[in-house]
Amino acid sequence: MYNQQEIDKIRYNSIPEQKLLIGSKWVKAKQGKIQNIISPINGEKISEIQVSDEADVDEAVKSSRAIFEEGQWSNMPPAAKKKVMHKIADLIEGNMLELAVLGVRDNGTEINMAYKAEPGSAAETFRYYAEAIDKVYGEISNTSNDFVGLIQREPVGVVGAIVPWNFPLMIGAWKIAPALAMGNSVVIKPSEAASLSILRLGEICLEAGLPPGTLNIVTGNGRTAGQALARHMDVDVLTFTGSGNTGRQLLEYSAQSNMKRVYQELGGKSPNIIFSDTDNLEEAAKVSAMGIFRNSGEVCVAGSRLLVEDKIHDEFLNLISNFSSKLKIGDPLDIQNDVGAINSESQLQSDMNFVKKAETEGGIVELGGKRVHKETGGFYMEPTIVSSVKKDMDIFQNEVFGPVLTVTSFSNEEEAVQLANGTSFGLASGVWTANLSRAHRMIKKIKAGTVFVNTYGGSDNTLPLTGVKQSGNGSDKSLHALDKFTDLKSVWMKL
């Protein structure tokens, strides 16, 4: 693992001005525009990224298309491809702490979480899809005996990926690794609020022997670089994680360009339901608290709406408030801290505004609600619990994406289901009960891509991350993710 001294040794390393990765070259944006990278730890500038526009994105897509057609990667034998992907995982693992610290300086996630969730899970993801390369085949259909029907899986070509700032490396790997495994080329645009670790991954991929151009990286903001990628006529598939507003725009860009397929993971407002027959309420309170407060609530599957059976409402609110009040908030590179920094000042402001508005609508702030450690120049907010939240309130309906938990009580199973399904989202959910039949009834009735039962927040590559309703479509993770990056070709042969 790591210790504080090792972190302190590298946490102030200077980070040179970052470039775009196009082919084998690191280049500046054509217009010469750059943007400062501000660290959420202390509000200080730590580096600069290139702000790319249409011309830069076009060059990246052309480079990805050229390498795809030439076949250095798309036609590479499966065993050789697999070696390169495993080498990428080896190099990520060989540079775990460096990657984790770089990412934390950029986005503010507490190091203990970032280390596992960012380079740790990115390496596992590259390995998982490396292993899929020579294990996922086409099919033979059962036509009549005078025909043979083959179903071939073919790469789609050029994949555009647009990713957010909360877990750039993990989410980036969820897009890049399955796309590469199926033989595609990728152009990725990381968030302008967290680009550094994806850029470092670009270096790693080249070092591992991924043919130049197979992965290109364009940085810059959504309105220019992101839009140019989403509108590009030669991008075959777009894969995105981020906000619903952006997701809506991406669908428009697709319709206005080449009708590329758009797969989206658009966050949630996930209910976490506590029934009075839960075995261990204290444990449920701890796990539920971390299900919202880790990474300052900047987690797409965060259990942000606590629904508690009225019989235990006060007792459970006490338990979760007590536990949460002891969480240590501060410098995300201090291993003693439980919760790090909010990604940006504007996100912090948005989080606080949600709480203020909830108070005017009748919510009661039971814990937190305030900015802390302002003297550091960084962006920190206390874990916040708002009770008496009703279904029609803004904070019940919309994603805060901050350390803010709402509490609503219910009196029976039916009401719990209505509240749980009462938003436009459907990403994750939690159910706590000792009654197996009730657990199964709830699993069926809750409209969400994931249901956690008597836990909240576990995951690995074997389970898909899928959104329903306005939380998105298509799956990240698992073998199902491969479907996004392949076309099926039917072959009908007369014998």
Provide the annotated active-site residues. Answer: 265, 300
- Looking at beta carbons only, is 23 or 160 nearer to ligand TXE? 160
Q: Which of 425, 387, 437, 382 is nearest to 265 (CA)?
A: 425
In the structure encoding, which two tokens stand for residue 146, read together? 């005078």
Q: What are the φ/ψ torsions at residue 52 (nearest 5 degrees)? A: -85, 155
Residues that bind ligand TXE (CB under 6 A): 162-166, 189, 191-193, 221-223, 226-227, 230, 241-243, 246, 249, 265-267, 300, 347, 399, 401
- Looking at beta carbons only, is 248 or 328 nearer to ligand TXE? 248
DSSP β-ladder status, 486-494 and 147-155: antiparallel
Question: Rounded to an integer, what distance in angstroms lies between the CA atom of residue 370 and that of residue 447?
Answer: 33
- Looking at beta carbons only, is 408 or 471 nearer to ligand TXE? 471
Question: Rounded to an integer, what distance in angstroms lies between the CA atom of residue 220 and that of residue 227?
Answer: 10
CB 364 within 8 A of CB 387: yes
- Looking at beta carbons only, is 183 or 402 nearer to ligand TXE? 402
Tell me, rounded to whole angstroms, the distance of Cα 16 from its chain centroid: 26
Q: Amino acid identity, residue 492?
A: W
What minimum distance in Å lies between the beta carbon of 423 and ligand TXE?
13
What minimum distance in Å lies between the beta carbon of 302 and ligand TXE?
9
CB 103 within 8 A of CB 169: yes
Tell me, rounded to whole angstroms, the distance of Cα 113 from its chain centroid: 14
What minimum distance in Å lies between the beta carbon of 347 and ligand TXE?
6
What minimum distance in Å lies between the beta carbon of 78 and ligand TXE?
32
**DSSP letters along 104-132, please?**
HHHH---HHHHHIIIIIHHHHHHHHHHHH
- Looking at beta carbons only, is 223 or 489 nearer to ligand TXE? 223
In the structure encoding, which two tokens stand for residue 178, read together? 């399955």
Question: Rounded to an integer, what distance in angstroms lies between the CA atom of residue 221 and that of residue 131?
Answer: 34
Q: 3-class DSSP state for residue 193? A: coil
What minimum distance in Å lies between the beta carbon of 245 and ligand TXE?
7
**Radius of gyration over alpha carbons of the chain, in Å?**
23
- Looking at beta carbons only, is 285 or 302 nearer to ligand TXE? 302
What minimum distance in Å lies between the beta carbon of 230 and ligand TXE?
5
- Looking at beta carbons only, is 89 or 393 nearer to ligand TXE? 393
| Strand partners of residue 491 | 150
Question: Rounded to an integer, what distance in angstroms lies between the CA atom of residue 123 and that of residue 89?
Answer: 4
Exposure string over 241-259, b if 16+ CB within 10 A, otherwise e:
bbbbebbebbeebbeeeee
- Environment class of 483 (CB within 10 Å of its CB; exposed 0-12, middle 13-18, buried 19+): middle
- Looking at beta carbons only, is 267 or 368 nearer to ligand TXE? 267
What minimum distance in Å lies between the beta carbon of 150 and ligand TXE?
37
CB 229 within 8 A of CB 220: no
Question: Rounded to an integer, what distance in angstroms lies between the CA atom of residue 464 and that of residue 446?
Answer: 17
What minimum distance in Å lies between the beta carbon of 139 and ligand TXE?
33
Q: Which of 137, 69, 117 is nearest to 482 (CA)?
A: 137
